[in-house]
Structure 1
Amino acid sequence: MAPPSLLQGDIPVRSWIDRLPPSWGPYCRLMRLDRPIGTWLLLFPCWWSTALAAERWPDLWLCLLFALGSVVMRGAGCTVNDWADRNFDGKVARTATRPIPSGAVSPRQVLWFLAAQLLVGLLVLLQLNWFAIGVGAASLLLVFPYPFMKRITYWPQAWLGLTFNWGALVGWAAVRGDLDWPPLLLYVAGLFWTLGYDTIYAHQDKEDDVLVGVKSTALALGRHTVPALWGFYGLALALIAAAGWTAGLSWPFWPLLAVAAAQLVWQIRTVDIDDSPNCLLRFKSNRWFGWLLLLAIVAGRVW
C-alpha cells in the first residue's frame, strides 16, 4: 500500500497506471491492476490444484492460462463490485475517488467493459477440457452475487472464500478431467484460508462499513477475531494436509507445509486489528503463504 501522501482515497497515485494514456487509467483501476494481491489470492488455488493433480511437474501451459484467467476474472469481479457499490462509494471519502463515483467512467461504460473481460475469460476457459469448462463456468453463480452479500450477512468473507477458491476445483479438472477428494478438500481449505485473510483485511474498513451500513466478519467477530483466526487457519492447514495425504504426496510435502503453517502463525501472533497498515501487511503476506504451499505440493509430487 502506498503511504498516505501517495493515495487519493484508496487509489494509489504515481503508479505505473499514471504513465498510461488517461483514457486507460480508469479501466485499469477498475481491474485493480495497481493492486495485484487479489490476483495472487485467486491464482494460487488454481496452481495448487494443478500441481496436486500432476504426475510430476505441473503443466506450464495450464499455469499460464490460469495466470491470465486470474488477472481477467479478478478484474471482472472488482468491476462488478464497483458497479454494485456505485451509490455507496461516493458517500465514503476513502472510496469516493474510484472511477465510477468520481465520474471517470459511466455505469454503462463499466458494463461494456465487464462484458469484454468476461469474453476474454471465456476464451481462456475454452482452452480447457469440456469437464473443466463446465466446472469453471459454474463459478459465475458465485461471482455475481458476491458484491451483494455484505448487505445480507455478516459473513460475506465466507462467500468470497467459496468464490476465490473455485480454482482448486478447476485446476484438478483441467488436468484429470474429473473431481476427487484432494481438490474438494483443498477447496474447503481455501474457504477457511480466505475467511482468515479477508477478516484481517476487513478490519481496515470497519468504521466505513458501519457508516454506510454494510456487514463483515470484522464487525461480527470484533475482539474475538484473533481466536477465530486460530480456528480458520487451523482448519485450513488440517484440510490441506488431508488433501496432500489423499493425493499421495511424498515426504518433502510435510516439512514444507510446516514452513507455510509458520507464516500463518506469524500473521495471527503479530496482527493488530486496530492498526490498518498492520492489517494490510499481514493480508498481503498471504502471497508468501501461497508460494510456500505451492513449493510444498510440487516437491511432494516431484520427489
Structure 2
Amino acid sequence: MNSPELKIHHPRSFSLRDRFMSYIHLVRLHRPIGIFLLMWPALWALWLAGSGQPPWPVVVIFVLGVVLMRSAGCAINDYADRDFDGHVARTNQRPLATGQVTPAEAIGVFLFLSLVSFGLVLQLNWQTIALSVVALLLTFVYPFMKRFTHVPQLFLGAAFGWAVPMAFTAVTGTVPFYAWVLFAAALIWALIYDTQYAMVDREDDLKIGVKSTAILFGRWDRMVVGLLQLLMLGLLFWVGQQAGRGLVYETSLLVAAGFSLYQQKLTWRRERSACFQAFLNNNYFGMAVFVGLVLDYALIG
C-alpha cells in the first residue's frame, strides 16, 4: 500500500518557547507513561539482581537511561510515522505532523539522546555495554515494524524488556535463567498494554494500512489480552519462587491481578477513551509488582 498523502506544511516562524515545547512534545516528556512502563521492568530486575539492595549508582544510571532512551524512541517513532500521524485523530497534533519539527531534527534528537544514554552505559561493565547495543537497535527498529507485521508489539516488548538482562549484567555480570523468564514477562506485558493502546487507533489504522495486534486479534482481542495477563502473572509468580520471594511479593501479584481485571472491565465495550485508560492503568500494575518486591526484601530479606 502506498503511503497516504499528507498536507504540506509551509514553513512558519516559531518563538523560542514554541520551539522548546515542540521538542518536549516530540520526546513526550509531557506524557511520562512510557517512561514508567519502561522503568518498572528495569527496577524489578535491579531489585532481584541486587537481592533487594542494588548499587545506587547503577540504579541512577538506569533511571536516567530509561528517560533518555524512551525519549529517543519517541523521536524515532515520530520520524517513522511522519506519513501517518496526520491521519490519526490521536496523533495529528504531533510536532512532525504539524510541521513544528522537521524529520531531520527528529533524527538529530534521536542520535543525540542515544549518544548521551550510551555515555551513561559506559560507566558500567563490558557485558552491559555490549547488551546496550542490542537495546539501541531494538529502539530504532520497532517503529518501522508496524508496516511489515501485525505484531510490532513483540519488538516493542523486546526493546522495553531488554532492560532486564542489562540490569542483571550491571549488578551481577551474569543473566540467570529466571532473569530471561522475567524478560519474557516484560515482553508479554508490552503485548498487553500496547494492544490496549492499539485498540484506541484501530479504525484509523485500518484506513491507512498500519498493522497492529488489535487488528490481528479482532473480536478476540479482550480474550487474548486476558490470557496474556494470566500468563504474565504466572511467569512473575515463578520468578518470585526462583528468587526466594515470599508472601508480601505474592500479595502484590494479587493486587496486580486486580488491576488486570479492572483493565478488562475498561475495555469491555472497546470505547476509545476507556481503552486508553486501560493502557494507562498498567502503570499501577508495574508499580504494584515493584512495591511488592521492595517490601518483601525489606521485611523478609
Q: 1:234 aligns with which of 213, 221, 230?
A: 230
> Pick from 263, 267, 270: which aligns with 2:263?
267
Residue pairs, 1:18-97, within 5 angstroms: 21-97=17-93
Q: Is the 8 A contact 2:266 2:277 kept in 1?
A: no
Partner secondary structure for residue 73 of structure 2: helix
Tell me what 1:224 maps to.
220
Q: Please give the per-residue CA displacement for 1:11-60, whole angstroms capped at 9, x wherever unaligned.
A: xxxxxxxx982221111111011110011001111100000111333333
Q: Given the two structures, how large is their TM-score scaled by the length of structure 1?
A: 0.89
The aligned counterpart of 2:240 is: 244
* Structure 2 contact 131–166 (Cα < 8 Å) conserved: yes
Matching residue within 206, 214, 223 for 2:210: 214
1:197–1:20 distance in 2 versus 1, CA, 3 Å: farther
Is it true that 1:141 corresponds to 2:109 in the alignment?
Answer: no
Render the CA deviation track for 1:66-110: whole Å, top value 9, x for unaligned: 221111101111111111111222344543322122111221222
Letter in 1 for 2:66: S
Contact 1:165 1:191 in 2 (8 A): yes
Partners in 2 of 1:144 and 1:197 — Cα distance? Answer: 20
SS at match of 1:127: coil
The separation in 2 between residues aligned to 1:130 and 1:250, in whole angstroms, is 33
Identity %: 38
Secondary structure of the 1:104 match is coil
For residue 122 of structure 1, the aligned residue among 114, 118, 123 is: 118
Cα distance, 1:210 vs. partner? 1.0
- Partner residue of 2:150? 154
Q: Equivalents in 2 of 1:269, 1:244: separation in Å? A: 27
Residue 191 in structure 1 maps to residue 193 in structure 2: no
CA gap of 1:275–1:93, structure 2 versus 1, over 3 A, is closer
Question: What is the one-letter code of the residue matched to 1:282?
Answer: A
Q: How many residues align?
A: 285
Question: C-alpha separation between the residues in 2 aligned to 1:109 and 1:56?
Answer: 41
Q: Distance in 2 between matches of 1:297 and 1:22?
A: 42
Q: Which runs of 5+ in 1 are unaligned?
A: 1-18
- RMSD, matched Cα: 1.8
Equivalent residue of 1:249, what SS? coil
CA contact (8 A) 2:267 2:274 kept: yes
Aligned to 1:9: none
Matched, 1:172 2:165: no
Rounded Cα–Cα distance in structure 1 between residues aligned with 2:234 and 2:281: 20
Consecutive unaligned residues of structure 2, counting only runs of 5 or more, are 1-14
CA distance in 2, matches of 1:123, 1:175: 18
Amino acid at match of 1:188: A
CA drift at 1:153: 1.0
1:4 is aligned to: none
Say which structure is richer in helix.
2
Deviation at 1:299, TM superposition (A): 2.6
What is the Cα deviation at residue 162 of structure 1? 1.2
